[in-house]
Structure 1
Amino acid sequence: MSSPVVFVHGLWVHASAWHPWVDLFTNAGYEARSADWPGDGDTVEAARRNPQRVAGYGVQDITDHIARQIGGLGERPVVIGHSFGGLIAQKLLASGIASAAVAIDPAPIKGVKALPIPQIRSALPVLRSKANRNEAVMPTRRQFRYGFGNAVSREESDELYRRWVIPGPGRPIFDLTAAKKDPQSPIEVDLSDHARGPLLILGGERDHTIPEVVARQAAELYRPGTNTEYRRIPGRGHSLVFDSGWREVAEVVLDWVRRHDTSPAR
């Protein structure tokens, strides 16, 4: 058996959206599983029925929760994360909990300066009210279409919303906005990459929630830079890991993981 692989979802998307990836990696010989966030329901329906279960959790709370799940594996996994899951994957890699990491359209780490208008617009459903810091927030179908489903058809975007979208905590987005003035910001990551495992960052060309320039700048921050790789995914939006084109992205990630897996079984 190869190294374990753990998938971490982002804000507003249920962990079960990773199931096709879990199946792909399992068939490739990996012990693959998806991690949940604190308060997540077992199903999309359960999460929607009890939205306040996720309220109040920030980036560090979620990271610690996932680290505890990883602790039971007995071996450091490869962590693959999307959106805020991509930020968390970088934190787990920097702390030595992960052996390698893939961050797909990751929420920005501290030091990223780009703040494109589409990113601001995507965050407005949360930031419009300070009370949302301690609340659960559910995007509307229209907001999801702009932030996630802009690179697929409206029909597919609506179907993705129906199948996967759940309430999420507002606090992680407030963690981002407070990072510049917070000396202990939970989105700060150790940028030295010589003593940790390899990192791949992917940026979707048409992403509104995390525009491609944001993902690229995150990769450019790492020093000395010999252990971090960046790739642009043409034509893809923020739904790239669970829309109809998911397998194209998954195959890129699987190939990279195979080449960087140092477990004895490989």
Structure 2
Amino acid sequence: MSYSSKNLFSYKTVFVESTDNIQLELIFSIGRNNIPNIKLPPLLFVHGLYHAAWCWENFLGWFASRGFDCFAVSLRGHGNSTKIESKDSSWTLEQYAEDVSSVVTYLYANTLSKPIIIGHAMGGAICQKYLESSFERITSCVLLCSIPPTGSIHSLPYWISNTPATLFALLLRSSYLLISTPERAQKSFFSSNIPQDLLNEYHSKFETTVNTKVNMQTLTTFVDVKKIMKEKNFSSSMIIIGGEKDCIIPIDAVEKLGKTYGGIKVNIVRDVAHDVMLEVKWEDVAMVILKRIQEKLMEKCAKIY
């Protein structure tokens, strides 16, 4: 299989209004569904720390070519969404969840379908926060290398041993140090086989304003798991995926995430690090997501019939 950071699908951009008069950048690619009488749910991709909607371009085209309408949001303070210098480092997890809610409402109004939300890392934490009160508004939720609901503090020893800049970042309370150079970004987010030109390209797009408030919120328990688990279909709707070489959310944290949600099956993709959607082998990750989504959709169809 060949791997590429580009695809042939074009993207369009709209802006969706969230709370606090925030305008959210939403890039999208419309799917080509060649299966008659089958309507697939739209996919909504939610980025994590340092990123924006741009980081999903590989996945948008790939999934669109398989029939899904694909959307990626830039959360407030990121990408081309509204930026407020005095607030971008202190938006709360709840406010980011409101951004997701606003986009889900927009998608349902325009597609009449409940989306599948896919959150990466901090985006996974935001999706979990959103699910506390809004599980019934989605078809499924995919957590990619996501912070577990009990917080990231348990992974700190692993981070420090694998990314030396972590200790200095903690002492100076500036987590941007983890990715302040392409070399540091590679150690934190990517496998060693990423081409230098791609690494430089991605690093140039990273956000330099870091939300310290959300970092602190997600150090310890930040979501009420019982509120999510009380939803009757939650266990058949959750998908959890991690990367074998991820030094930010290691394998044991991914497995703990599955156990916390009642023993949900997790998938670990070989030879990929934290930024699974930008890695050289991003297509392997996309294939796992597709297969798991197909499983969930088939399960739902079986229950109906």
TM-score band w.r.t. shorter chain = 0.7 to 0.9
Q: Are residue 65 (structure 1) and residue 99 (structure 2) matched?
A: yes
2:171 is matched with which residue? 128
Q: Identify if the C-alpha distance between structure 1 residues 213 and 151 changes in structure 2 by more than 3 Å, giving closer, same or farther.
A: farther
CA contact (8 A) 1:102 1:201 kept: yes
1:29 alignment partner in structure 2: 67
Matches within 5 A, 1:117-266: 117-120=157-160, 121=163, 123-124=166-167, 126-129=169-172, 139-141=179-181, 142-153=183-194, 155=196, 158-162=199-203, 164-167=205-208, 168-177=210-219, 179=220, 186-190=222-226, 192=229, 195-197=232-234, 198-223=237-262, 225=263, 228-261=264-297, 262=300
Query: Quick one: distance in 1 between partners of 2:87 and 2:151?
Result: 31
Give the Å deviation of 1:119.
2.5
Check whether the contact 1:206–1:235 (CA below 8 A) recurs between aligned residues.
Answer: yes
The letter of the residue matching 2:139 is: S
Partner-residue secondary structure (3-state), 1:101: strand
Choose 1 or 2 for highest CA Rg.
Answer: 2
Under a length normalisation based on structure 1, what TM-score does the superposition of the two structures give? 0.79
Alpha-carbon distance, 1:38 to partner: 1.0
Q: Offset of 1:218 from its aligned partner? A: 0.9
Contact 1:151 1:237 in 2 (8 A): no
Helix, strand or coil at the partner of 1:102: strand
**1:79-94 residue pairs with structure 2 within 5 A?**
79-94=117-132
Query: Contact 2:145–2:241 (CA<8 Å) still a contact in 1?
Result: yes
Segments of structure 2 that go 5 or more residues without pairing to the other structure are 1-38
* Structure-2 change in CA distance of 1:128 and 1:200 (3 Å): same
Deviations 1:203-223 (A, max 9, x none): 212111111111111111112
Q: Take 1:203 and 1:232, find their aligned partners in 2: how far apart are those partners?
A: 5
3-state SS of paired residue (1:232): strand
1:116–1:150 CA distance, 2 compared to 1 (3 A):
farther
Alignment of 1:36-51 (within 5 A): 36-42=74-80
Identify the residue that residue 114 of structure 2 maps to in structure 1: 76
Paired AA for residue 208 in structure 1: C
Aligned AA for 2:103? Answer: Q
CA distance in structure 1 between the partners assigned to 2:166 and 2:94 by the alignment: 19
Change (3 A) 1:17 1:102: same
Name the structure, 1 or 2, with higher relative contact order (CA <8 Å, separation 6+): 1
Give TM-score, length-normalised by structure 2.
0.70
- Number of aligned residue pairs: 248
Aligned-pair CA distance for 1:113: 7.4
Separation (CA, whole Å) in 1 of partners of 2:53 and 2:131: 20
Aligned-residue sequence identity (percent) comes to: 19
Alignment RMSD, CA only?
3.1
In structure 1, distance between residues paired with 2:204 and 2:281: 16
Tell me how far apart the structure 2 counterparts of residues 10 and 260 of structure 1 sit (CA, whole Å).
24
Distance 1:153 1:35, change over 3 A: closer
- Three-state SS of the structure 2 residue aligned to 1:72 is helix
